Amino acid sequence: MALAMGLVPVAGADDHRARINYMIHCQGCHLPEAVGFAGKVPRMNGFAGYFLHSQEGREFLIRVPGVATSSLPDDQLTELMNWLLLTYSAEQLPEPFVPFSVAEVAALRPDLEADPEKTRMRILRQIARGLPSLAVELELISGG
């Protein structure tokens, strides 16, 4: 929380609207507080920020089915993704955090990811090579 408050808010973003959109469009599967469900639905709380440590990971977050095929317009989807990262996974974000732009989201979402599970693990393993905290999370190395 302290970290999240330390980050610069995204200009023009409506946090309340983002929170409501999260509840209506994401929470059914990803659960309140984005905790996910082990083995069925990926956890985003304390995790999603890791993906921004690579360009491919950054793009992946927009190309996963729940995001890409959402009924939200590009601007509200962008706002929601930035809010989600800052609210639930600020600690995992790279420094500096570059928020998603509407143009970026609009360009990425038509390119739906074909095999999210496989791609996800490949991207995470790649990022984990330079990020011990993620490697511990993935149990690639033991956390001491």
Partner 1 sequence: MKWLDGMTESGTREIASKTSRRGFLGRLAAVLAGGAATIPLLPVARSQESSNPPPGEQGDPTSCEYWRYCAIDGFLCGCCGGSMNSCPPGTEMSPITWIGTCENPVDQKKYIISYNDCCGKSSCGNCLCQRNEGDRPLYRPQVSNDINWCLGTSSNSYHCSTAIVVGTALDE
Partner 2 sequence: MKKLMLVALICASAVFAEIQPEPTGIIETLPETWPAHWIIAHDAAFFHMSDGKLIVLDADSDDVTGRFKGFMNASFIGMFVQARTRPEIYLAETFRSRGSRGERTDVLTIYDKRTLGPVGEVVLPPKRSSNMPTDYNLQLVDDEKLALIYNFTPAQSVSVVDVVAREFLAEIPIPGCALTYPMGGRAFSSVCGDGSLLTVVLGDDGQQASSSRTEPFFDVDDDPMMEKAAMHGGIAYFPTFHGNIYPVDLNGTVPVVGEPWSMIGDEEGGWRPGGLQLAASDSSGHLYFLMHAQGREGSHKDPGVEVWVFDGEAESRVSRIELSLPAISIAVTRDDNPLLIATNINMEIDVYDATSGNHLRTLGDFGQETPLILRAAH
Closest among 28, 7, 118, 14 to 70, alpha carbons compared:
28
> What backbone torsions phi and psi does residue 41 show, to the nearest 5 degrees?
-130, 125
Burial degree of 142 (CB within 10 A; 0-12, 13-18, 19+):
exposed
CB of 101 to partner 1, least distance (A): 23
CA distances from 8 to 47, 70, 99 (A): 20, 26, 10
Q: If contact means CB under 5 to 8 A according to the sort of partner, which of partner 1, partner 2, none does residue 138 touch?
A: none
Is residue 140 close enough to count as binding partner 2 by CB under 8 A?
Answer: no
Residues 10-49 that bind partner 1 (CB under 8 A): 16-17, 20, 23-25, 27-29, 31-32, 37, 40-41
25: left (phi over 0), alpha (psi -120 to 50) or beta: alpha
Q: Considering beta carbons, is residue 19 or 120 the nearer one to partner 2?
A: 120
* Per CB under 8 A, 3 contacts partner 2: no
Positions in 57-96 near partner 1 (CB under 8 A):
66, 71
Kindly give the interhelix angle for 74-88 and 15-25, rounded to the nearest 10 degrees.
Answer: 100
By CB under 8 A, residue 35 contacts partner 2 = no
Say which residue the tokens 């409506």 belong to.
14
Q: Which residues bind partner 2 (CB under 8 A)?
A: 29, 40-41, 64-66, 68-71, 109-110, 112-118
Q: Which residues bind partner 1 (CB under 8 A)?
A: 16-17, 20, 23-25, 27-29, 31-32, 37, 40-41, 66, 71
